[in-house]
Homo-oligomer: A and B are copies of this chain.
């Protein structure tokens, strides 16, 4: 029998660094198993080998948490706008739990079951309705006995609090992660206040994920920490940012950038950007450090390599990576061997190779949020007429 693993709170209480995993929807979209637009995780059922392989890459790169690939797997999301999958949320979530458990058992990782924001909330359904959706997803996580729960990717703290309240009913440790920046949630609630509400609702770990680049996310979690401490409360902190540079975002994050989701390549962070991020997050007192959309295994490995001195070990994948470029000592060309040093990579300002492109964009700012007609859940596919209206609006905006 496998030795019992230390739980998430045990680790954090002991001051350990817990490394999260990276982003499944973006990585699997590129590999051909997730459809951009609906972004739903039916691959857990349809292509288990692909999902398992990605879990393994993150594990090998140093992740201590395998999040079940259940993002957006609530029934109301699965049938949104013509996404006709013929799979229930329960089927997907069960398959995802099995895959996460299988790989987690191959190393020192915990399984986290996750729920995220619902179309029902944006459509102004009642608290009871929204909570019912979370509860239905939770049934699977309980049955499959995940190690802890994450309520993640919430734009409105109100809905996140509802999620935390439901997750708390299980008795499992609960983490809560908003997709907000320093300006706060879509209703203008500040990061500090958001964090306080989540901690009061019972979350033991709070933080942010997605929507902004690493440095912006760390800054936001710092504001959360200040709020929590000012309120005389206690919590652990997590951060799982994008692997895209987003200096030009407004409050809605990268969804508003013109490049989302099919032109983000020039913004992808290098492994050296990740070293800076890991150090900054650590210095800010954050101990659950991972990634979201855009993060691939080598980004996670960079976090693990940066924090190796603190943790005392390198991840398995460092077998195939010399820290700070040391592997280049073996390169055939002498001028590439000359790059096998930390100061070279630390100071590099990488060129885009795109002289006709700008370095910043102007984000779309339609200013619509919860309750707006355009955000309502709609089972049917978007009609041609609806699309034409949006195209026109987009061109004149």
A interface list, Cβ under 8 A from B: 29-38, 49-50, 53, 56-57, 60-61, 80-83, 119, 122, 213, 244-248, 255-272, 296-298, 301, 316-317, 319-322, 325-341, 344-345, 348-362, 364, 366, 368, 374-375, 381-382, 386-387, 390-391, 393-394, 397
A80 with B332, Cβ < 8 A, contacts A30-B296, A30-B298 known:
yes
Residues in B whose Cβ lies below 8 Å from that of A33: 320
Residues in B whose Cβ lies below 8 Å from that of A317: 32
Residues in B whose Cβ lies below 8 Å from that of A247: 353, 355
In the bound complex, CA of A268 to CA of B368 (Å) = 32
Chain B nearest CB, measured from A240 CB (Å): 19
Residues in B whose Cβ lies below 8 Å from that of A34: 320
Identify A375's interface contact among B81, B122, B334, B341, CB under 8 A.
B334
A334 touches B246 (CB 8 A): no
A352 touches B266 (CB 8 A): yes
A297 with B30, Cβ < 8 A, contacts A245-B353, A350-B259, A353-B213 known:
yes
Residues in B whose Cβ lies below 8 Å from that of A349: 354, 356-358
Residue of B at shortest CB range from A83? B330
A330 with B81, Cβ < 8 A, contacts A266-B266, A353-B246, A360-B355 known:
yes
Identify A350's interface contact among B266, B296, B337, CB under 8 A.
B266
In the bound complex, CA of A353 to CA of B263 (Å) = 12
Residue of B at shortest CB range from A32? B317
Residue of B at shortest CB range from A366? B335
Complex A-B: 28 CB contacts under 8 Å: A32-B57, A35-B327, A36-B325, A37-B326, A50-B56, A53-B53, A81-B329, A245-B352, A248-B353, A259-B350, A262-B339, A263-B270, A265-B266, A267-B352, A267-B353, A333-B366, A333-B374, A333-B375, A334-B374, A334-B393, A335-B393, A337-B382, A338-B393, A351-B357, A351-B358, A353-B360, A355-B358, A356-B360
